[in-house]
Structure 1
Amino acid sequence: MSRLDSETKRKLREMGVASLVDTIEAQDDALTLGVVFEERIKIAVDDAHATFTHSKVEGLVRRAGLRYPNADLRRVDMIEQRGLDRGVIAQLGTCQFLTR
C-alpha cells in the first residue's frame, strides 16, 4: 500500500482519526504483500479501534480515582489469613452479579 500523502493525513487527523493514520503508516509492506486493500484497511481500523478503546478505558480508570487502579482479580493474594473463598472471587470476576 502506498503511503498516505500529507493532505490525506491532515484531513484524517482533522476528522479525529489520527490513530487510523498511525496504524496505516505502521503497516509493514513486506508482511502485507499480497493482502487486498479491503483487508489492509480492516486491519488498520481494528488496530486503531483497539488503541481508541484502550485509551478510553485508561481515561475512565484515571477519572474514577480508584485506590488501586491496576488491581486484577488474577493477582489477589489468597493467603488463608484473609479468609477469601477462591470460588466467590472467581464468580465475582464473571460479573454475573450485574445481571441479577
Structure 2
Amino acid sequence: STVFCTQYPKKDWHARLGGAAHADAIMDRIVHNTIWIDTGDRNMREHTALPQ
C-alpha cells in the first residue's frame, strides 16, 4: 500500500509532475484503483496558530 498526502488539488498534480509522458505514467498508477479521503479545506497551521 502507498499513501499520498498533498495540499494540492488533484487537478494540479499532472502539471506539478512536469506534464509530460512521465507525469502521465505516474498519474495512471496513482489515480486508478485508489480510495480518496478528502480532509477538507481547513489549514491546520492557520487554525492552531497563536493570534498575533
Give yes or no for TM over 0.5: no
Larger helix percent:
1
Structure showing greater Rg: 1
TM range (shorter): 0.3 to 0.5
